[in-house]
Amino acid sequence: MANTYNADEILEKQKVLGTLEYSPKPSIRGYTGEILRIDISEPSFMIIPVTEKMKEVFTGGKGFDLWMMWQEVTSETKWDSPGNPICIAAGPLGGTTSFAGAGKSIVTTISPTTGSVVDSNVGGHFGPLLKFSGFDCLVITGKSENELIIFIDGMNGRIQVIESSLLSVNSHLAAEELAEMYSDNDDDKRHISTVSAGIGADHAWIGCLNFSWWDWRRRTMRLKQAGRGGTGTVFRNKGLKALVVKAPHTRPAWTISQQDSGEVSND
């Protein structure tokens, strides 16, 4: 059954469980120099510095994910263990529009289907907007009995873990609801991207993660999938409904009239 709650009703019923205020750092030569780690069990937050050695050896993206996985897991960690992290990172070219594939990001976790580490690459805008919000990589660990969202607000320098009982589980609904909840207007939705998994991931080991992006032509949020290895199943097993990132006004506003004229305007 479709969710009948509007954005104001969902926001009114949300409960903030933890907040971190931070100062977003700009990306310099492809790196912001910081990794965000969130343990949703408590919840707690940690900002981890990116060392020069990490850049030299692991570069970014999948390399950063695997390095952070190595810090988190033990020989006893299973796919449904609280200590099984979900790591999401973009590479140093993430968000650089002059390069093909710069919207990609990589998800890694221990897979329900294999019991081993799996990575899945995905489009959408979450990876670049995460970088624009100050982080080269995101690590989520822990588990919650409540339905949670994580909101990374790069505009105001605030990260929150929020209990959100009324938000839809299915991604095509949740992406629209979250964009409406955290945007000022339709044009502001281009600064927002979400990650979520539908109710299918509650019942299958091969659940996908859906990464959203604002389609300015269709005026709606659209989805790309990280479909390998059951990343969405791990996400839902942790009690997560969605991740939301809202980046500063660094992206040009496109309209159909601008496309026709070949012009682009900035904020």
- Beta strand 117-122 with 209-215: parallel, antiparallel or unpaired? unpaired
Is 109 in contact with 117 (CB distance < 8 Å)?
Answer: yes
Q: What are the structure tokens assigned to 131, written together?
A: 């970088």
Q: If you ran DSSP here, which 8-state letter would residue 252 be given? A: P
Give the three-state DSSP class for 248: coil
Supply the pLDDT for residue 71: 96
Is 110 in contact with 79 (CB distance < 8 Å)?
Answer: yes
User: b/e map of 9-31 (b: 16 or more CB within 10 Å)?
Assistant: ebbeebeeebebebebeebeebb
Supply the pLDDT for residue 251: 60
| pLDDT less than 50: residues of the chain | 1, 255-267
The 3-state DSSP composition of the chain as helix, strand, coil percent (nearest 5) reads 25, 30, 45
Tell me the residue type at 72: E
The half-sphere exposure of 198 on its side-chain side, counting CA atoms within 13 A, is: 16
The class (CATH top level) of 15-259 is: alpha beta
Supply the pLDDT for residue 240: 98
Gap between the Cα atoms of 106 and 64, Å rounded: 10
User: Counting beta carbons within 10 angstroms of the beta carbon of residue 179, is it exposed (0 to 12), middle (13 to 18) or buried (19 or more)?
Assistant: buried
Is 195 in contact with 243 (CB distance < 8 Å)?
Answer: yes
User: Which candidate, 122, 75, 85, 118, places its Cα nearest to that of 103?
Assistant: 122
Q: If you ran DSSP here, which 8-state letter would residue 199 be given? A: G
Supply the pLDDT for residue 252: 61
Would the pTM count as exceeding 0.95? no
Only one residue has tokens 């339905």, namely 147
pLDDT digits (tens, 9 = 90+) for 172-223: 999 999 999 999 998 899 999 999 999 999 999 999 999 999 998 899 999 9
Question: Which residues of the chain form beta strands (DSSP E)?
Answer: 15-21, 34-39, 44-49, 86-89, 105-110, 117-122, 137-141, 148-153, 158-163, 192-196, 209-215, 220-226, 240-246
Residue 160 β-bridge partners: 19, 151
Give the three-state DSSP class for 52: helix
User: Counting beta carbons within 10 angstroms of the beta carbon of residue 227, is it exposed (0 to 12), middle (13 to 18) or buried (19 or more)?
Assistant: middle
Gap between the Cα atoms of 65 and 109, Å rounded: 9
Q: If you ran DSSP here, which 8-state letter would residue 144 be given? A: -
Only one residue has tokens 């950063």, namely 64
Q: How many residues appear in the chain?
A: 267
Give the three-state DSSP class for 210: strand
pLDDT digits (tens, 9 = 90+) for 125-135: 999 999 999 99
